[in-house]
């Protein structure tokens, strides 16, 4: 082989080695680039750790708030507001207003009672209680009428009991009937009287004028409950 051919062969070989080295370097560089994300994952991991820690702190914060009563405090405030404002205070105020709007009891000072003898039914007296005051008031359940010097009041006819007490507005009236004596003569201990008193629940007493000549009463004496109509009062 000539010297020139030998030199060319060596040059070719050197060139081939250099190219192989460059190719190997390029491959190593690609492998380094491909592995970089895995190797540099510590940075994203750190970044991810911070949100995770932040989430923990947030959760921990909530837990701390709950432990310290901060979160519970919100619920307690709501419950307290409901209890105090709506339940206790509201109900109390409403009850107070209802009580304040209820009519008071009638008194002899604001109710005038008159007695009228009627032809039908026989031996009956009609009592009329008229409100002469400026406010509506509630009459007692029935007139505890005391005729003359009687030591007791007459019984009340339970069949005449209304569903509720009778209230009378200013200028309006309530009515009660009185069976003075038996119509068949079966009554006992009869007597004539011209005085009648009727007490009210507040302790006041109304003196009622009886028809001229007075009335005759015996053991059949009975009164009805106060009614809102004359027919209701005289139906017994």
Q: What would the pLDDT profile of 14-69 be if each residue is shown by its tens digit? A: 555 555 555 444 444 444 444 444 433 334 444 443 444 444 444 444 444 433 44
Between residues 134 and 79, the one the model is more confident about: 134
The per-residue pLDDT for range 100-127, each reduced to its tens digit, is 678 999 999 999 999 999 999 999 999 9
What single string gives the DSSP state of each residue in 18-54?
A: HHHHHHHHHHHHHHHHHHHHHHTTHHHHHHHHHHHHH
How far is Cα 202 from Cα 50, in angstroms, rounded to an integer?
81
In a domain, 106, yes or no: no
Burial level of 175, CB count in 10 A (0-12/13-18/19+)? Answer: buried
Between residues 35 and 217, the one the model is more confident about: 217
What's the chain's length in residues?
A: 236
Residues 92 and 23 in one domain: yes
Last residue of a domain, one of 80, 101, 122: 101
Residues 120 and 197 in one domain: yes
Q: What tokens does 42 get?
A: 């510590």
Domain membership of residue 93 as a residue range: 3-101
CB atoms under 10 Å from CB of 80, counted, come to 11
3-state class (DSSP) for residue 147: strand
The per-residue pLDDT for range 140-199, each reduced to its tens digit, is 999 999 999 888 899 999 999 999 999 999 999 999 999 999 988 888 989 999 999 999
Question: According to the model, what pLDDT value does residue 185 have?
Answer: 80
The per-residue pLDDT for range 82-103, each reduced to its tens digit, is 343 433 433 333 333 345 678 9
Q: Residues of the chain with pLDDT > 90: what percent?
A: 49
Q: What tokens does 177 get?
A: 């009937």
Q: Could you tell me the pLDDT band of residue 12, with boundaries at 50, 70 and 90?
A: low
Question: According to the model, what pLDDT value does residue 15 have?
Answer: 53
* Mean pLDDT across 129-141: 97
Residues 78 and 147 in one domain: no
How far is Cα 63 from Cα 54, in angstroms, rounded to an integer?
14
Residue 228 has pLDDT above 60, yes or no: yes
Last residue of a domain, one of 32, 67, 101: 101
Question: According to the model, what pLDDT value does residue 160 have?
Answer: 96
Residue 71 has pLDDT above 60, yes or no: no
CB atoms under 10 Å from CB of 170, counted, come to 13
| b/e burial code for range 133-155 (CB count within 10 A of at least 16 → b) | beeebbbbebbbbbbeebeebbe
Residues 95 and 43 in one domain: yes
Residues 78 and 120 in one domain: no
Confirm if 154 and 193 have CB atoms less than 8 A apart. Answer: no
Residues 94 and 137 in one domain: no
Total domain count, the chain? 2
Residues 184 and 163 in one domain: yes
How far is Cα 20 from Cα 197, in angstroms, rounded to an integer?
138
| pTM, two decimal places | 0.58
**Cis bond upstream, residue 137 (ω within 30):** no
3-state class (DSSP) for residue 125: strand
* Mean pLDDT across 6-12: 52
Residue 72 has pLDDT above 90, yes or no: no
How far is Cα 216 from Cα 198, in angstroms, rounded to an integer?
17
Identify any residues that bridge with 127 across adjacent strands, giving them in sequence order. 115, 176
Question: According to the model, what pLDDT value does residue 184 have?
Answer: 83
Residue 206 has pLDDT above 80, yes or no: yes
| Listed residue (136, 146, 126, 128) closest to 105, CA to CA | 136
Residues 50 and 95 in one domain: yes
């Amino acid at each position: 082989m000539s010297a020139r051919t030998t030199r060319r062969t060596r040059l070719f070989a050197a060139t081939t080695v250099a190219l192989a080295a460059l190719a190997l370097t390029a491959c190593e560089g690609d492998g380094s680039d491909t592995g970089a994300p895995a190797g540099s994952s510590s940075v994203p991991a750190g970044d991810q750790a911070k949100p995770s820690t932040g989430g923990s702190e947030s959760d921990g914060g909530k837990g701390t708030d709950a432990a310290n009563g901060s979160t519970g405090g919100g619920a307690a405030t709501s419950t307290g507001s409901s209890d105090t404002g709506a339940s206790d205070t509201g109900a109390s105020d409403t009850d107070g207003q209802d009580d304040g709007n209820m009519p008071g009891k009638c008194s002899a000072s604001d109710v005038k009672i008159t007695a009228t003898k009627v032809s039908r039914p026989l031996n009956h007296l009609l009592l009329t209680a008229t409100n002469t005051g400026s406010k509506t008031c509630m009459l007692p359940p029935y007139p505890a009428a005391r005729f003359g010097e009687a030591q007791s009041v007459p019984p009340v006819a339970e069949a005449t009991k209304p569903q509720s007490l009778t209230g009378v507005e200013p200028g309006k009236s309530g009515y009660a009937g009185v069976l003075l004596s038996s119509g068949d003569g079966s009554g006992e201990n009869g007597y004539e009287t011209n005085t009648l008193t009727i007490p009210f629940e507040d302790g006041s007493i109304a003196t009622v004028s009886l028809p001229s000549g007075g009335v005759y009463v015996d053991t059949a004496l009975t009164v009805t409950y106060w009614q809102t109509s004359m027919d209701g009062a005289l139906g017994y």
